[in-house]
Structure 1
Amino acid sequence: MSDFALVRQPVFGGTGSLIGYEIRFRDSDGPGSFTQSVLSGTFDLIRNRMPAFVAATREQILSDAFLVGEPGAVIIMLPPSLTKDDATSEAVQRLAEAGASLALDDVGADPVPAEVWLPQCTWVRVDARSGDAAAINTMCDRLTRGAGKDGPRLVAAHVEELEQYEATLERGFDGFQGTFFSRPEPLPAADLPQSTVAAIRLMGLARDPTITDGQLEDVIATDPGLTFQLLRLVNAAAFGGRGVASIGQALRIIGRQTFLRWLAVAIAAARKSTNGMDYELVRQAVERGRLCEQLTGAGREAGTLFLVGLFSLLDAVFRMPLSEILERAALSPEASDALRHRTGPYADAINVAESYELGLFENAQEIAKDMGVDPARLGEYYTNAITWTADALGATAEHSTGPATPAPPSPSPSRRS
């Protein structure tokens, strides 16, 4: 059990590729939590070989906390209030000599004291909520004035609405981060690939006790792609890469309920990803399912918890209204109530997961406590979910990086409502 809590949030490039993660720590854990996470190996596990944006305090900078581990893997975000004096100048120089990158964090419309560090910064993290397109442009002119093409790269943080995304994209920002990217515009049902519709309907069949294992195997066998995904997942995660050669054999060995979980993962993994944003959504959905699965007790069954967590993001994964997904998947009434109305014994599991993913650690702990779940174990459960998902979905670097990823389509203006 760790003595700290942390969470990661993706940072995307202009082409939709994953360029890094922001890693947030719980404030109450104090400045030593970064060092603890590095020494325990948790930090490298969470960043998954990607650059990590980490908010720094003056105390951490002066104590050389970020020289622990691999400085080149961390983009140290200087707090807006950090003033320049002999002590901080010497500390920042040590970071630069060690190969660490610096970013100016949480910049808004009004100048902040830390802007004196702009010449040393390779990144600036701009609050996308600071104003309209004109205000964003004025702010960026202030930050890049006189810097030329070697000036800092800009990350739009807290992107929550279409207008914010469009304004920063048009300005030429290099990175984007926020809740906007986890809720893309659903596609009309008529535009959905038939394979997606069929796969979701398959979930309903798998839950139907009147459907025999043989009938279920026959239906799955008609989709070679899904069959391959499912056998790969079951073999890799459940049997160490060997032992299961057919859908029927998997059903007989692991049982219908466990099979149902792997079927849900396979359906999500079969989503055709066009860029890092798509793939991160799939991974986040599976991670949330695994996180929720660990919140058992008080009449909450692990398999249903997994499905509730995973399905809470499937509307974003498939760009399909949640109501249509639930109609096709035929989940239990308790699961449907949690997803549709946030009521019933499974609703709080979603609330815990969402709060934790947003870095609202205290809120997540309070809800977990009310559920009868040990709140001190949420960090452990979250790290476990990331590890489990990485094992289930396999290596992800080829999906998240690379120059050939196409630009994401601009979200529909209907998102303005």
Structure 2
Amino acid sequence: MAASDTTPFPLVEMQAAANAQNEWLALTVRVGGPDQGAALQQVFGAPDLLTAIAPLDCIVPLASPAILGAPLLALMPPSRVIFAIDAGVLADQALVKQTEALHEAGYRVLLDGQSGEGLRLPPTLRAVALDCSAGLPVARGGKYQVLSLFGPHLAYGVDSAVRFADCVEAGFEWLAGDWPLHPAPNAKPHDGTSRKRLLALLGLLARDAESRELEQLLKQDPALSYHLLKLVNSAAFALSTQITSFGQAINLLGRRQLQRWLQLLLYARQQPDGMANPLLPLAALRAAQLESLCKLQGGEREDQDIAFMTGVFSLLDVLFGMSMEDIVGALGLAPAAAEALLLREGRLGEQLRLVEQRLPAPGQLAALGIDHTQWWQSQLHAYHWAIQVGRNL
């Protein structure tokens, strides 16, 4: 995976696409730059990508199919790769034929954007990807919908819970955007008793409390207790004997892993509608990438734990519907973590800013001594971990 000194590894923007139940189904892998073909050759030529994100599919946005030569396509198996090709290709019959040839070769193809006036949509290309950041752009019969096309369809730029609901109603099966960070205004946060208990549990974890103190608090929270026992009995641990008590669970996981899983289990609490919590994989993603960056830059194990915890806790204000100041004040966190969460300052805070952006500028990475290959490695590690968390919680 190592990049040469003269040709740094490309920066890759990655974002999950979920279904209407908030379950991740695919990852959009967007590579820009003046030579998109060469950049994709580097990304897919590295052996780790498709393995790390399995079993998710990979959606690759393209301006034109012309960049897809045989050597590049050989790295992109049709069973795992979906192309989202700019709908502007419909104005060029040669590009239309190349796009149809991809379909005939077994690739799934999404036409990205609305086709120009008067342009015919080929019968084999009936799935779309649409930018819905400014609203739903397809209007039929007074309602927004894409149900007349075959699909499955991708809506991206879905940046609010209201837009998410609209896109689902319109017939989009895949949705990508920041809607988990912007819940509906009428969404109910955790009740006061539950919130106090959860903050107390986090406080115990932060100060490395005795296991028996954790057990006593866990016994007061049936939902969190259920999720912990469900986790340790899941396929992730492949045990031959069922775990039935908190003491067994704590001994099995070990202190360090117990802390990490309990931090993430906060996001796994049952939702009123039974849907998965969309914040869970995002918290896992931030935590794992911050930990990976710390490790790649020589951070000690304790520093890696603080980085991981900072990533998990960075979404608690959204989860609880309360200010980060109140949350941090209740937890007694390490100064580096508190500074990062409250101000996005200090080295850890600056790295949290990068992780939140998804595609930082090269200068931002250089300022923190992070080369492009390190950033790519941290991305792969983080997505692999977040996918596993989403499947096991």
The reply to whether TM is greater than 0.5 is: yes
1:283 CA drift (Å): 1.4
Matched, 1:368 2:368: no
- 1:179 — aligned with what? 178
Secondary structure, aligned partner of 2:293: coil
Which one of 350, 353, 359 corresponds to residue 351 of structure 1? 353
Q: How does 1:124-203 map to 2 (within 5 A)?
A: 124-130=128-134, 136-137=138-139, 149-150=148-149, 154-161=153-160, 164-165=163-164, 168=167, 171-185=170-184, 191-192=190-191, 194-195=193-194, 197-203=196-202
Distance, in Å, in 2 between the alignment partners of 1:128 and 1:35 is: 29
Runs of 5+ in structure 1 lacking a partner? Answer: 400-417
Secondary structure, aligned partner of 1:76: strand
Matched, 1:377 2:374: yes
Matched, 1:336 2:335: no
**Cα offsets for 1:185-215 (capped at 9, x unmatched):** 4778875374454233211022236x54443
What RMSD in Å do the two structures reach over aligned CA positions?
Answer: 4.5
Q: Which amino acid is 1:395 matched to?
A: R
Matched, 1:52 2:47: no
Distance, in Å, in 1 between the alignment partners of 2:33 and 2:67 is: 13
CA contact (8 A) 1:104 1:115 kept: no
- 1:288 — aligned with what? 286
Q: Which amino acid is 2:129 matched to?
A: R
Which one of 102, 120, 124 corresponds to residue 124 of structure 2? 120
Note closer, same or farther for the CA distance 1:382–1:253 as it changes in structure 2 (3 Å cut).
same
CA contact (8 A) 1:82 1:113 kept: no
Stretch of structure 1 that moved more, 51-60 or 180-189: 180-189
Q: TM-score, normalised by structure 1?
A: 0.71
1:244 CA drift (Å): 12
Q: How does 1:8-407 map to 2 (within 5 A)?
A: 8-14=14-20, 16=22, 18-27=24-33, 30-38=36-44, 40-45=46-51, 47-56=53-62, 57-61=64-68, 63=70, 65-66=72-73, 68-82=75-89, 85=92, 87-107=94-114, 112=116, 116-130=120-134, 136-137=138-139, 149-150=148-149, 154-161=153-160, 164-165=163-164, 168=167, 171-185=170-184, 191-192=190-191, 194-195=193-194, 197-208=196-207, 211-223=209-221, 226-227=224-225, 229-230=227-228, 259-270=258-269, 272=271, 274=273, 278-296=276-294, 301-318=303-320, 321-356=323-358, 360-361=359-360, 363=361, 365-391=362-388, 393=389, 395=391
Note closer, same or farther for the CA distance 1:386–1:232 as it changes in structure 2 (3 Å cut).
farther
CA contact (8 A) 2:65 2:98 kept: no
Q: Which amino acid is 1:24 matched to?
A: R
Distance, in Å, in 2 between the alignment partners of 1:139 and 1:29 is: 42
Distance, in Å, in 2 between the alignment partners of 1:6 and 1:142 is: 32
Distance, in Å, in 2 between the alignment partners of 1:36 and 1:390 is: 23
Distance, in Å, in 1 between the alignment partners of 2:78 and 2:142 is: 28
Note closer, same or farther for the CA distance 1:45–1:240 as it changes in structure 2 (3 Å cut).
same
Distance, in Å, in 2 between the alignment partners of 1:142 and 1:235 is: 44
Note closer, same or farther for the CA distance 1:127–1:313 as it changes in structure 2 (3 Å cut).
same
Q: Which amino acid is 2:291 matched to?
A: E
1:101 CA drift (Å): 2.0
1:232 CA drift (Å): 7.0
% identical aligned pairs: 22
Q: Which amino acid is 2:350 matched to?
A: D
1:112 CA drift (Å): 4.2
Distance, in Å, in 2 between the alignment partners of 1:233 and 1:318 is: 23
Note closer, same or farther for the CA distance 1:116–1:65 as it changes in structure 2 (3 Å cut).
farther
1:388 CA drift (Å): 3.2
1:39 CA drift (Å): 5.2
Distance, in Å, in 2 between the alignment partners of 1:167 and 1:225 is: 30
- 1:405 — aligned with what? none
1:163 CA drift (Å): 6.6
Q: TM-score, normalised by structure 2?
A: 0.75
CA contact (8 A) 1:185 1:319 kept: no
Runs of 5+ in structure 2 lacking a partner? Answer: 3-8
The aligned length equals 381
Using CA pairs under 8 Å that are at least 6 residues apart, name the structure with larger relative contact order, 1 or 2.
Answer: 1
- 1:413 — aligned with what? none
- Whichever structure has more helix as a proportion of its residues is 1
Q: Which amino acid is 2:381 matched to?
A: N
**Cα offsets for 1:351-409 (capped at 9, x unmatched):** 111122xxx24x2x433332233443111111112223445x3736xx8xxxxxxxxxx
Note closer, same or farther for the CA distance 1:119–1:249 as it changes in structure 2 (3 Å cut).
closer
- 1:412 — aligned with what? none
Distance, in Å, in 2 between the alignment partners of 1:13 and 1:222 is: 33
CA contact (8 A) 1:102 1:123 kept: yes
CA contact (8 A) 1:67 1:95 kept: no
CA contact (8 A) 1:282 1:317 kept: no
Distance, in Å, in 2 between the alignment partners of 1:327 and 1:254 is: 28
CA contact (8 A) 1:55 1:77 kept: yes
Note closer, same or farther for the CA distance 1:138–1:215 as it changes in structure 2 (3 Å cut).
closer
Note closer, same or farther for the CA distance 1:163–1:85 as it changes in structure 2 (3 Å cut).
same
